[in-house]
């Protein structure tokens, strides 16, 4: 696969080297597995082990807890680079870094950090359990309950559309300790796969990102020690909102990488495919399409990088994160669609990469906050300025 052009002026030398190292890893270790993993709807366990060995499963976690001690921005670069080859692998790394570990770093006490971060950086995948059958965009309409029982809470509930659930051992699970208080009763708990009453339910069959597991998580009277409460009781809504604000930059980066991969494939094909005695790339109409794709990718990249830089700098970034996710998911869908058209009939068959990028792109407008939710956030913040 041709490497998409990178605007090197926006990256430091260390960031360029890191990005290139992840690109090289993706081409060598992931590319040969993409088709097979998509067809089987299964993430190769040996590849997950290599992600840990590469240090990509704990990028922002300090070295004292087994992580790379790097920046949020580098996590975003890794997510982008991986998505250029396979968005399914990218989202596994994304959820691990920007949702699960991010929550531990910001809200976990010393006990939770010392207990779980070394595991998450070493060999155990994490999962973020928020969505329920009747609780999607209205995340706080959840029905999962937690009842206090001595030095434990007893949890009962059902989560759906949970990314990484099949591979994960550690789960951040949101439940309500006081339903009468509404969202103010929502609390975050750390659960483990082997806790009695914990079960992974149905694995969904999906349009795209098929190698990424999306499953039900079933909790039936699971006893969780109070020491596994993350943050304060009743503050789970705050953890959920603020964690997802950062996670949206991760999804934006995934969509940016997907667009880059789709663009690179279309550009390469346009130079190789001949019609009427010359390559497609020599036709002005195709040149216009290539230019439009590249321009939109560049615009999305600047928005994604800006949001990540703001987050690392400790500056307000919520509006910029929503804008970046909205823009990047739009661009991914546009580029994947137009790229498929450049492939012509070959774009519609699985032998070429265009159709998979096209299928994978659609989820960007849906998960971790739909496009309408992003627009609502942007509008409210603009009106409040």
> Among the listed ranges 21-35, 90-104, 133-147, which one has the minimum average pLDDT value?
133-147
Torsion angle of C-alpha atoms 250, 136, 375, 100, degrees rounded to 10: -20
Cα separation of the two ends of the chain: 44
Has 167 been annotated as catalytic? Answer: no
Contacts of 109-115 spanning 24+ positions with Cβ under 8 A:
111/227, 112/190, 112/227, 112/228, 112/230, 113/65, 114/65
pLDDT at 4: 52
For residue 290 the two structure tokens come to 């290539």
| Mean of pLDDT over the chain | 96
**Residue 140 pLDDT class (50, 70, 90 cuts):** confident
The C-alpha atoms of residue 190 and residue 173 are separated, in whole angstroms, by 6
Say what the pTM is. Answer: 0.96
The DSSP element (H or E) to which 24 belongs, if any, is: helix 13-25
pLDDT at 1: 47
Choose, from 199, 298, 368, 385, the residue flagged as catalytic.
Answer: 368
**Residue 8 pLDDT class (50, 70, 90 cuts):** very low
> Among the listed ranges 5-14, 119-128, 328-337, 373-382, which one has the minimum average pLDDT value?
5-14
3-state secondary structure at position 69: coil
pLDDT per residue as tens digits for the range 53-66: 999 999 999 999 99
Among 335, 310, 334, which Cα is nearest to 322's? 310
374 CB-near residues (< 8 Å, 6+ apart) = 248, 322, 323, 325, 326
> Among the listed ranges 7-21, 154-168, 201-215, 330-344, which one has the minimum average pLDDT value?
7-21
State yes or no: pLDDT of 280 exceeds 80.
Answer: yes
**Residue 359 pLDDT class (50, 70, 90 cuts):** very high
pLDDT above 90 covers a percentage of the chain that reads: 96
- Sorted by where each starts, the structural domains of the chain and their CATH numbers stand as 8-125 (1.10.540.10), 127-234 (2.40.110.10), 238-384 (1.20.140.10)
**Residue 70 pLDDT class (50, 70, 90 cuts):** very high
State yes or no: pLDDT of 272 exceeds 50.
Answer: yes
State yes or no: pLDDT of 13 exceeds 80.
Answer: yes
169 CB-near residues (< 8 Å, 6+ apart) = 119, 124, 125, 126, 192, 193, 194
The C-alpha atoms of residue 77 and residue 71 are separated, in whole angstroms, by 10
Query: If you average pLDDT over residues 183-195, what whole number do you get?
Result: 97
Query: If you average pLDDT over residues 256-283, what whole number do you get?
Result: 97
pLDDT at 261: 98
The C-alpha atoms of residue 346 and residue 354 are separated, in whole angstroms, by 8
For residue 282 the two structure tokens come to 């020599």
For residue 18 the two structure tokens come to 């890191």
State yes or no: pLDDT of 307 exceeds 60.
Answer: yes
pLDDT at 95: 98
pLDDT at 5: 52
């Amino acid at each position: 696969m041709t490497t998409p052009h990178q605007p090197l002026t926006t990256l430091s030398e260390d960031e360029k080297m890191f990005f290139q190292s992840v690109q090289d890893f993706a081409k060598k270790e992931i590319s040969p597995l993409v088709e097979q993993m998509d067809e089987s709807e299964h993430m190769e366990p040996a590849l997950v082990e290599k992600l840990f060995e590469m240090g990509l499963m704990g990028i922002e976690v300090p070295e004292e807890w087994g992580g790379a001690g790097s920046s949020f921005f580098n996590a975003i670069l890794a997510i982008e680079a991986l998505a250029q080859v396979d968005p399914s692998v990218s989202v596994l790394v994304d959820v691990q870094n920007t949702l699960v570990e991010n929550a531990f770093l910001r809200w976990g006490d010393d006990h939770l950090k010392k207990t779980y971060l070394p595991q998450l950086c070493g060999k155990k995948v994490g999962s973020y359990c928020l969505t329920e059958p009747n609780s999607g965009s209205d995340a706080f309409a959840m029905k999962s309950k937690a009842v206090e029982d001595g030095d434990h809470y007893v949890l009962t509930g059902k989560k759906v559309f949970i990314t990484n659930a099949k591979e994960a051992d550690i789960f951040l699970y949101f439940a309500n300790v006081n339903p009468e208080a509404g969202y103010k009763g929502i609390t975050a708990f750390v659960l483990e796969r082997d806790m009695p009453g914990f079960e992974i339910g149905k694995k969904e069959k999906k349009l795209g990102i098929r190698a990424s597991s999306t499953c039900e998580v079933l909790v039936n009277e699971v006893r969780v020690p109070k020491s596994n409460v993350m943050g304060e009781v009743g503050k789970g809504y705050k953890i959920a909102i603020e964690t997802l604000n950062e996670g949206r930059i991760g999804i934006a980066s995934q969509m940016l990488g997907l667009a880059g991969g789709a663009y690179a494939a279309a550009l390469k094909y346009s130079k190789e495919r001949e019609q009427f005695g010359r390559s497609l790339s020599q036709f002005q109409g195709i040149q216009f399409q290539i230019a439009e794709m590249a321009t939109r990718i560049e615009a999305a990249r600047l928005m994604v990088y800006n949001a990540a830089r703001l987050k690392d700098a400790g500056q307000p970034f919520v509006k910029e994160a929503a804008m970046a996710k909205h823009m990047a998911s739009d661009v991914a869908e546009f580029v994947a669609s137009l790229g498929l058209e450049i492939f012509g009939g070959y774009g519609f068959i699985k032998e070429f990469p265009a159709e998979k990028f096209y299928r994978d792109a659609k989820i960007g407008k849906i998960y971790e906050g739909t496009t309408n939710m992003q627009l609502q956030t942007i509008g409210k913040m603009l009106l409040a300025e």
